[in-house]
Amino acid sequence: MALTGLFLCTFLVGHLLGNLQLILKTGEEGRRAFNEYAYFMSHNPAIKILSWVTYISILFHAIDGILLTIQNKKARPIPYARNNPSKNSSTPARYMAVLGTLVLVFIATHMANFWYKMKISEEVPMHSFIVSVPDQSGQIQSQEFYYTHNLQLIPKDDNFSVKNGTDLYMSKMNIKIGEGYRDLHTVVMQFFSKDNDSALFAVLFYVLSMFVLSFHLWHGFASAFQSLGLNHKKYNAAIGFIGKGFAILVPLLFAIIPIIIYLK
Amino acid sequence: MAAKSINITLKIWRQKNANTKGALETYSLNEVSTDSSFLEMLDQLNEQLINERKEPIAFDHDCREGICGMCSLYINGRAHGPETGTTTCQLHMRMFSDGDTIYVEPWRSRAFPIVKDLVVDRSAFDRIQQAGGFVSVNTSGNTMDANSLPIPKDDADKAFEAAACIGCGACVASCKNGSAMLFVGAKVSQYALLPQGKVEARDRVLNMVRQMDEEGFGNCTNTGACEVECPKGISLENIARMNREFLKAGLSSEK
């Protein structure tokens, strides 16, 4: 539990840095930055290995947590008629299993909303945009282009076609000339945008889930160190301080992103 | 401070034996001196019950000075009652007010089956101790004097603090998971810190943890309740030390 928990804490930091691309830059620049990040996350071989370690960590952390909770419930078959645990332990510490289950529910919906569309159903469209310029006669001509990840612009017309999801080919000669990428940025923006009827619910659910995550981390961060035997009076204060700071800051930064998108 | 008398209501767990179902019974007890200990108050109640020709309440007690670990009792939702750093025999009725209702329950743990009323069988702790909580010494007549081995003062102090565990079981009783990690952590630590204990350190921690799991105690989730409720102030540091010893032994042991 401790090892997977701490690994998932490092995952949160990486995920957060990626998500911050959604608000740090705006307009076409922001769109490109975030989509480039998404491209990197789904193509870099090291990240692919890391993502599998993350899936396995989440599953192990959840399954092991459930098994341990069942054992712990069995260890006290008859509950106390009167119990006063608030006198000896913090509330998040006593509700780790409940908090963890809620985080798991959030992860499931979160993956269905974004990860599944990006990786499995491939519903997320290619990143493309329309350039409008006046021709010699002064008439406005519009042309839609695919953006590739090495800054090529490839016209979206019959001369070019998309294969294997994001590869761009010259239709007649069947030669790969570039690699486009998916426009996850627009999907996320639309998901949390005020124009979307269900966005308010999505933002509230997201923010609420971040509160739950915060309480889970409030106990979990320092607890992982204790489980690994890292309890030393020289470092305990620092571990406690960093753990509490992490539990507040990381979920807070995650939560402000959908709020900012919604309010835009 | 002048002694004062209070009238109280008690809700006490009554259970004939391990095989029958128990229930909370309500008793009224008048004129309890605030200078009496909690156990003396129960003695007073038992006298009243005997005079009424009723079965007295069975509860564990021995030294009545806080060092034997015999007394237990989950009082008003806390192990050994509302005071910290004390056993039930050191808890005094001045901690309660006139008209109070006091709940008295046995330790609740699968590994501590109820013998009768408030008495639980804590021999699971003995079996954990027997699995490794000792130092093997050859008693051929030329045993070395323990003091001839130099031991750093800090280590000796920490070992002593761990050895202060009286095995009362308050840690198990107050842990939401019914975990015995504080007890086992203290017993592992008191030897792990001393040169005499290092020889068998690896087998000790593996055997004691295995026995702990076999007895049906729960797992530690670091809520810290045990440390707060421990009458001897055993620190969570001992659990971390046991975890270190266990990791070390698990990685290097051939068993």
Helix ranges (H only) for A25-44 are: 27-43
Residue A174 confidence (pLDDT): 84
CA-angle at B193, arms to B188 and B194, nearest 5°: 110
Q: Which of B76, B99, B115 is the last residue of a domain?
A: B115
Q: Would an 8 Å CB–CB cutoff place B12 in contact with chain A?
A: no
pLDDT tens, position by position, A205-222? 999 999 999 999 999 999
**Is there a contact between A81 and B105 if contact means CB atoms under 8 Å apart?**
yes
Domain identity same for B71 and B142: no
Decide which of B72 and A154 is more confident. Answer: B72
Q: Which of A181, A197, A213 is the last residue of a domain?
A: A181
Domain identity same for A24 and A92: yes
CATH number at residue B52: 3.10.20.30
Strand partners, B24: B13
Q: At what angle do helices B237-252 and A199-227 cross, to 10 degrees?
A: 80
Give a yes or no: residue A83 inside a domain: no
Residue A52 confidence (pLDDT): 96
Q: Which of A161, A181, A201 is the last residue of a domain?
A: A181
> Which of A75, A80, A90 lies at the smallest CB-CB distance from B105?
A80
Residue A155 confidence (pLDDT): 84
Strand partners, B101: B9
Residue A231 confidence (pLDDT): 95
Domain identity same for B134 and B218: yes
**Is there a contact between A93 and B222 if contact means CB atoms under 8 Å apart?**
yes
* Cβ atoms B188, B234 nearer than 8 A: no
Q: Please check the confidence at residue A124 and state whether its pLDDT lies above 70.
A: yes
Domain identity same for B38 and B105: yes
Q: Which of B69, B98, B115 is the last residue of a domain?
A: B115
% of chain A exceeding 70 in pLDDT: 100
Domain count, chain A: 2
Strand partners, B32: B6
- ipTM of the complex as predicted: 0.92
**Is there a contact between B178 and A75 if contact means CB atoms under 8 Å apart?**
yes
**Which band of pLDDT confidence, cut at 50, 70 and 90, is reported for residue B186?**
very high
**Is there a contact between B243 and A75 if contact means CB atoms under 8 Å apart?**
no
3-class DSSP state of A61: helix
Domain identity same for B128 and B42: no
> CA of A72 to nearest chain B CA: how many angstroms apart?
4
- Structural domain boundaries enclosing B31: 5-115
Give a yes or no: residue A82 inside a domain: no
Domain identity same for B199 and B101: no
Decide which of A43 and B191 is more confident. Answer: B191
- Structural domain boundaries enclosing A15: 2-77+88-124+186-263
Over range A76-91, report the average pLDDT: 96
Domain identity same for B212 and B134: yes
> Which residues in B lie closer than 8 A to residue A75 (C-beta atoms)?
109-111, 177-179, 216-218
Domain identity same for B151 and B169: yes
Domain identity same for A47 and A105: yes
Residue A129 confidence (pLDDT): 81
Q: Please check the confidence at residue B2 and state whether its pLDDT lies above 70.
A: no
**Which band of pLDDT confidence, cut at 50, 70 and 90, is reported for residue A226?**
very high
Domain identity same for B104 and B182: no
Q: How many CB atoms lie within 10 A of CB B138?
A: 8
Domain identity same for B52 and B129: no
HSE-CB for A164 with a 13 A CA cutoff: 8
Domain identity same for B45 and B127: no
> Which of B108, B221, B239 lies at the smallest CB-CB distance from A76?
B108
Domain identity same for A162 and A32: no
**Which band of pLDDT confidence, cut at 50, 70 and 90, is reported for residue A134?**
confident
Distance separating alpha carbons of residues A256 and A240, to the nearest angstrom: 24
> Which residues in B lie closer than 8 A to residue A74 (C-beta atoms)?
110, 216, 218
pLDDT tens, position by position, B116-173? 999 999 999 999 999 999 998 877 877 778 788 899 999 999 999 999 999 999 999 9
Decide which of A7 and B2 is more confident. Answer: A7
Domain identity same for A135 and A169: yes
Domain identity same for B217 and B152: yes
Residue A152 confidence (pLDDT): 79
Q: Which of B97, B115, B133 is the last residue of a domain?
A: B115
Over range B235-248, report the average pLDDT: 97
> CA of A202 to nearest chain B CA: how many angstroms apart?
32
Domain count, chain B: 2
